[in-house]
Amino acid sequence: MTTTKDIERIEYTPQVAAATAHIYDKICDLVPEAEWRLQAPLIHEILRLKQEVGAVILAHNYQVPQIFYGIADFQGDSLGLAQAAMDVEEDTIVFCGVHFMAETARILNPEKRVLIPDLDAGCSLSESITAEDVRLMKERYPGVPVVTYVNTPANIKAESDICCTSANAKAVVESLGVDRVIFLPDEYLARNVQKETDVEVIAWKGRCIVHEQFTVDEIRGYRRQFPGLVILAHPECSPEVCTEADFVGSTTSMVRYVDDSDAQRILLVTECSMSDNVQEAHPDKEMVRPCTLCPHMKKITLENTLASLRLGRYEVDVPADVRQRAHQALARMLEIGRDD
């Protein structure tokens, strides 16, 4: 990782200030000037270095604005980012997200080098299940197809028949033409899908550390506190919370809803940094922010992203046999479409 000494050599000079002024203009309402004077030199160096080494930076919606708007070439959800990387000329991808996302980018871009700034950027949901768990489920329910959420490691995808996103989960489940499916690993997403289909959904007990925190009482409290509030919930929230919301959809669907809506006061029931990033795009609207942060996403910083570019670390690899089987599950999903 970069050391304090390394960072101290990158000064906030007039040149840095001028080169990054357009970025700060975007996020000045979100980042104090004193903080920006420390971060702008890092951003300036990252932008210079990625050109030098021929890298493209992908940033998930849950990254802080300094990363999302400051250094990223592409922003969005995990699958969209991995797909976007398929069309770039650069040979190196730096994924500012969590580990399973970088793995998906590697699966879809086997000829490219994929780096993640921090190997410990994990996910409570993806870590809630193992490949052995999936095999045991298949033994318990012989012949029942396995639908796996894309928010899973490569070895889980490899044990699956097909993947899905939070947006197309219902369409994927119903595309199989069966009476029941095993749906892994998100319990709440599975239960939300079950509300919309006659197919029996056999769920696992995995949950997202962020979305499981939201409660019905909390959502009702926001409504009382903020008159006219429009509430958008991610389907990784509990079915009870989703029922309280005005709209339920993926991160991409949420962004599109805000883009198209006349609502002036909006709550995104998801990770807090996404609200910051959407707020920048809609300064005329009031984004009510439930400060619920993903500790795994926040392991990605400007400092370790710079170190990733400087040192070529940490490279994400997927064994060939796992990659091939995981790619099949992803390809089957993409044939159906993302539906977001």
pLDDT tens sequence across 244-298: 999 999 999 999 999 999 999 999 999 999 999 999 999 999 999 887 899 999 9
Same domain, yes or no: 105 and 145: no
What CATH number is given to the structural domain containing 199? 3.40.50.10800
Between CA 43 and CA 54, with CA 49 as vertex, the angle to 5 degrees is: 130
Asked whether residue 164 is domain-assigned, the answer is yes
For residue 339, the model assigns a pLDDT of 59
What's the average model confidence in pLDDT over 202-215?
Answer: 96
> Per-residue pLDDT tens for 66-96?
999 999 999 998 888 888 888 888 999 999 9
Same domain, yes or no: 88 and 31: yes
What's the average model confidence in pLDDT over 142-154?
Answer: 97
Instruction: Quote the pTM value.
Output: 0.91
Structural domain boundaries enclosing 225: 211-288
Q: Reply yes or no on whether the pLDDT at 326 is more than 90.
A: yes
> Per-residue pLDDT tens for 160-170?
999 999 999 99
What's the average model confidence in pLDDT over 310-333?
Answer: 96
Q: Reply yes or no on whether the pLDDT at 2 is more than 80.
A: no
Same domain, yes or no: 33 and 135: no
Burial class of 246 by CB neighbour count within 10 A (0 to 12, 13 to 18, 19+): middle
Same domain, yes or no: 168 and 66: no
Same domain, yes or no: 40 and 108: yes
For residue 164, the model assigns a pLDDT of 95
Contact call for residues 285 and 266 (beta carbons, < 8 A)? yes
Contact call for residues 115 and 313 (beta carbons, < 8 A)? yes
**151-165, 300-314, 324-338, range with the lowest pLDDT:** 324-338
Q: How many helices (H) and strands (E) does the chain have?
A: 16, 12
Q: Reply yes or no on whether the pLDDT at 6 is more than 60.
A: no
Asked whether residue 327 is domain-assigned, the answer is no
Same domain, yes or no: 135 and 241: no
Same domain, yes or no: 35 and 111: yes
The total number of structural domains in the chain stands at 3
